[in-house]
Homo-oligomer: A and B are copies of this chain.
Amino acid sequence: MVVKNKTKESALTSVMEDYLEAIFDLTQTKKVVRVKDIAKQMNVKMPTVSSMLKTLKNRNLVDYEKYEYVELTNAGLKIGKEMRRRHEVLKVFLTDILKIKTAIADEEACKMEHTLSSDTLSCLTDFMNFIQTCPRAGESWLKHFNEYRENGCTPEKCNMQEEKFSKEFKNKIQKLNKKQS
């Protein structure tokens, strides 16, 4: 009996990427990852997870045997981690620059992370780095952006004190720059 190696070489779908990210996230939190956990995280039913695990296994992205724990292969880990990084970049932009609420920012980041090329994403991190570094921007500048949003138009308040960002914010952005780790 001939058993074919069914590795598909076509591009991953964004749904597959979502599953890899979800599994990656779960391995950070839990000791072991199970079908049920993934189903909950992805907001789908268990049979859906079973079938996706088959797909991911065919592509050598997960190690999985029926009824056992789910583990990412190196290839799967790499993708899951990268999706997580993208998610974080977008989330920081949405929450810390655009001042969007965390819950919503998470949702939107989740959808955007698949659509943006890594080039665009690195432009965005550069932009955030720049905002953080440039003496003409700074924290008060962003604060004025908020006032601007709320009151309409008060840009004359943006005066010129040189100002840096908090260490927390800097660290946050710093981390986003690393592609591998």
Is A75 on the interface with B (CB-CB < 8 A)?
no
B111 and A115 within 8 A (CB): yes
A124 surroundings in chain B (CB, below 8 A): 98
In chain A, positions 90-126 with a C-beta closer than 8 Å to chain B are 94, 97-100, 104, 108, 111-112, 115-117, 119-120, 123-124, 126
Contact B153 A144 (CB under 8 A): no
For the complex, is A158 an interface residue (Cβ under 8 Å from B)?
Answer: yes
Q: Are B133 and A136 in contact (CB under 8 A)?
A: no
Closest B residue, CB atoms, query A112: B115
Number of copies: 2
Cβ of A111: which chain B residues have Cβ within 8 Å of it? 115-116
Q: With contacts A108-B117, A112-B112, A117-B104 known, is A144 near B134, CB below 8 A?
A: yes
Q: Which residue of B lies closest to A14 (CB)?
A: B111
Instruction: Provide the residues of chain B in CB contact with A129, threshold 8 Å.
Output: 148
User: Is the C-beta of A24 less than 8 angstroms from some C-beta in chain B?
Assistant: no
Rounded to whole Å, the gap between the CB of A153 and the closest CB of chain B is 7
**List of B residues within 8 angstroms of A158 by Cβ:** 134-137
Flag whether A168 is at the interface (Cβ < 8 A).
no
Q: Is the CB of A100 within 8 A of B115?
A: no
A-B complex: 8 closest residue pairs judged by Cβ atoms? A111-B115, A98-B123, A136-B158, A134-B155, A134-B158, A133-B155, A130-B145, A130-B148
Please name 19 further chain A to chain B contacts, defined as beta carbons within 8 Å, in addition to the given A104-B117, A108-B120, A130-B149, sorted by A numbering. A94-B123, A98-B123, A98-B124, A104-B120, A108-B116, A108-B117, A111-B116, A123-B149, A126-B145, A126-B148, A130-B145, A130-B148, A133-B155, A134-B144, A134-B155, A135-B155, A135-B156, A137-B158, A160-B160
